[in-house]
Amino acid sequence: MLTLSGRSFASRVGGSLVRAAGTPEMVCETPAQFVERAVELGRDRERLDPIRERLRADRDSCVLFDTPSLVKGLERLYGRMWREHLDGNLPRPDLTNLEAYLEIGLQTNADEIEVQGITDYHGWWRERLARRSRYRPIAPDRRLVSD
């Protein structure tokens, strides 16, 4: 499946599924890249052969079909939540600097970036927070803002 990353839930799910299947090269970042790759693959169908072979070979081990690991991970999370509940530890969101985070988020054009493609996601946020803090200082918090 060739997919175009975008802002919609469906396009993000498409990209996630394709990556989980082990074929990240089938995720396009721009409409022009999507059209170009679709035309390339349509003109040279043999270029799909190595991808098909990799899918066949990895279908029992790729993340997309690793249901036992998904179940184990969910069970661990549910167990941790239950233990925290029994200990009286209720989740408390850290809302420090929420306005600054929202401001930066609103200034980001989600149609121009693919968040899953950002290799240093925390660094991406830190850079924007530091830029924002130069003209309106942001107090340190427990997430990304430090002294």
Whether 117 and 147 map to the same domain: the answer is yes
H-run or E-run covering 4:
strand 3-4
Whether 85 and 101 map to the same domain: the answer is no
Q: How many domains does the chain have?
A: 3
Reported as a single tens digit per residue, the pLDDT across 45-69 is 899 999 999 888 888 888 888 888 8
At 147, the pLDDT band (50, 70, 90 cuts) reads low
Phi-psi region of 92 (alpha: psi -120 to 50; beta: other; left: phi over 0): beta
Contact at 8 Å (CB) between 129 and 145? yes
Whether 85 and 111 map to the same domain: the answer is no
Reported as a single tens digit per residue, the pLDDT across 80-109 is 999 999 999 988 888 999 999 999 999 988
Total-model pTM: 0.53
Domain that holds residue 55: 3-59
At 10, the pLDDT band (50, 70, 90 cuts) reads confident
